[in-house]
Structure 1
Amino acid sequence: MPSWIRVVQHGVMRRGAAAVAAAGLALAGVAAGGAAPAQAAGPVCEGTRIDTLDFATGYTYLYYSASTGRNCAYTVPKSGSGSPQLMAVGLFRASDNVGVWDSRSDYKYHAGPVYLDARGTCVLFNGQVRSTAATSGWGHCGSLAAGAR
């Protein structure tokens, strides 16, 4: 296993490395288990969609739920939905460099969702479909109050 993956797994990552690791995870398509179960189409996160990464092969959506105080992200393909293909999604918190990701291959409809409480800090999110990936910058810096974003 590459050393940068071990660093991310232990949650001990410097801010500058977070963006590199986030992009690397999406590009690597690191297996986190066997084939994914069948998934339904449509929004999979609760709350309000606050951002979208639009890249050549897919979209990664970022949501925020005021009722739970959590961010949620998932990735969908632009084409080939219903056919198994490599997809990934990651979501990272700036305050302590903690990240969550779902980078198994062979999803039919979407990678994720992944959830992360990021009240009072910024988030970075990324996604991948097949060989193309996209990463946001640090943003969506929220207030500590659950309803403020």
Structure 2
Amino acid sequence: MRKFKHKVALTLTTATILAGSVFASSPANAASSPIAACGGGSYHVIDQHALSSYGTVYLMYNGTTDCVVTWKTAYVGTPTEVQAFVERESDFKAVVDDKKYSYYAGPVKIDAPGTCIIWGGSTALPSGATASAWYDYWSHCD
């Protein structure tokens, strides 16, 4: 019985450690640039918009897929609400990433060749109040 309890305790401890490492490492904190956040490769920046002094929303494209990342420039390293958003006009499918992040939100990706998209993002203050937000209207219709 003692060996069984020890194995159960060891298994639970291992599971807790593994779960903690999964939750502690977030893909939204791993990239060194907006292009890297989208996966690198053939992505290139086709548009961007400054969110005052709080961040920049980047729109990247690889010939088929649009990718949006909101990169923080204020409160970097402090988890605050950050949003990246993209929506396809042909069927109004939207993809959004809106959580507390230390560095950036996204990537949010959508295939949209031949149709327009709405894209944008926002950042918040540590208090939770919106610091800056910007959303384009239907654009990039290639």
Q: Do the structures match in fold with TM over 0.5?
A: yes
Residue type of the alignment partner of 2:96: W
Distance 1:35 1:133 in 2: 27
Residue type of the alignment partner of 1:55: L
Per the alignment, do residues 55 and 127 of structure 1 end up closer, same or farther by CA in structure 2, a change over 3 Å counting?
same
Residue in 2 that maps onto 1:41: 32
- The alpha carbon displacement at 1:137 in A equals 1.6
Deviation track 1:27-71 (CA, whole Å, cap 9, x = no partner) reads xxxxxxx887243331212311111021222111000102xx100
The question of whether the paired residues in 2 share the 8 Å contact of 1:53 and 1:136 is answered with no
Residue in 2 that maps onto 1:125: 119
Residue type of the alignment partner of 2:61: Y
Distance 1:35 1:98 in 2: 30
The count of residues paired between Structure 1 and Structure 2 equals 106
The question of whether the paired residues in 2 share the 8 Å contact of 1:73 and 1:90 is answered with yes
80, 89, 92: which is aligned to 1:97? 92
User: Percent identity between the aligned chains?
Assistant: 33
- The alpha carbon displacement at 1:94 in A equals 0.7
Unaligned runs of 5+ in 2: 1-22, 125-129
Residue type of the alignment partner of 1:124: I
Larger radius of gyration between Structure 1 and Structure 2: 2
Unaligned runs of 5+ in 1: 1-33, 143-149
TM-score, with normalisation over the residues of structure 1?
0.66
Residue in 1 that maps onto 2:109: 115
Structure (1 or 2) with the greater helix fraction:
2
* Structure number with higher relative contact order (C-alpha < 8 Å, ≥ 6 residues apart): 1
The question of whether the paired residues in 2 share the 8 Å contact of 1:92 and 1:125 is answered with yes
Q: Name the SS of the counterpart of 1:121 in structure 2.
A: coil
